Structure 1
Amino acid sequence: MAFTPLHDRVLVRRIEGDEKTKGGLIIPDSAKEKPSEGEVVAVGEGARKENGDRITPDVKAGDRILFGKWSGTEITVDGEEMLIMKETDILGTLA
């Protein structure tokens, strides 16, 4: 199934963090926080200004991003858990 977000929404796949600390300790699943880093899978066409013109999104599919801890709504697309969020919930891109 192909999923295309509407307006200024972005579909994001979470990128799992390290399973170990820098000191080499293994982090159990119960102590892990959900990652706040992801990869943009799909982007809507952009929000509209009051005059009807589109605002071009700043992110594109394939970008690695950081987002807030409580950002987005979890959805399942083709059996894979992903997030859908507004572009304004994105904190920035990673190079």
Structure 2
Amino acid sequence: MSAILKNIKALAPLLDRVLVQRVKAESKTAGGIFLPDSAVKELNEAKVLAVGPGAWDRDGKRMAMSVAAGDKVLIPQYGGSPIKVGEDEYSIFRDHELLAKIKE
């Protein structure tokens, strides 16, 4: 990558792509015991930070995205395009690659 991102807000997904950040797993149990990083499993839950405008269908009309910024979603364990800005890690997925939308 030739340009170094200083802020993730400078990144706008195109077409049907979705920018997400994985939710960090709790490193402390309900009983108050702290777990080491090696024992904490990575979650498949992520928060949607930005979405593209949507892909075009065969008739030339824009298809609506299934998620919006602020939604919580389930993402596949592997896949997506990883992006690192400073110490933070993000991923870009296509809209159809997202597994589910989490309703709260």
Q: Give the TM-score, by structure 1 length.
A: 0.84
Q: Which residue of 2 aligns with 1:81?
A: 89
1-side partners of 2:55 and 2:70: how far apart? Answer: 20
| RMSD, aligned α-carbons | 1.8
2-side partners of 1:71 and 1:20: how far apart? Answer: 28
2-side partners of 1:68 and 1:7: how far apart? Answer: 20
Structure 1 position 34, deviation (Å): 2.0
Write out per-residue CA displacement over residues 14-69 of structure 1, whole angstroms, 9 at most, x where no aligned residue: 11122245676643212333221111000001111112111110100000111111
Among 61, 65, 69, the alignment partner of 2:77 is 69
Amino acid in structure 1 at the alignment position of 2:43: P
Q: 8 Å contact 2:45–2:73 — kept in the other structure? A: yes
Q: Which residue of 2 aligns with 1:30?
A: 38
Corresponding position: 1:16 with 2:28: no
Stretches of structure 2 lacking an aligned partner (at least 5 in a row): 1-6
Aligned residues: 94
Q: Give the TM-score, by structure 2 length.
A: 0.77
Q: Which residue of 2 aligns with 1:92?
A: 100
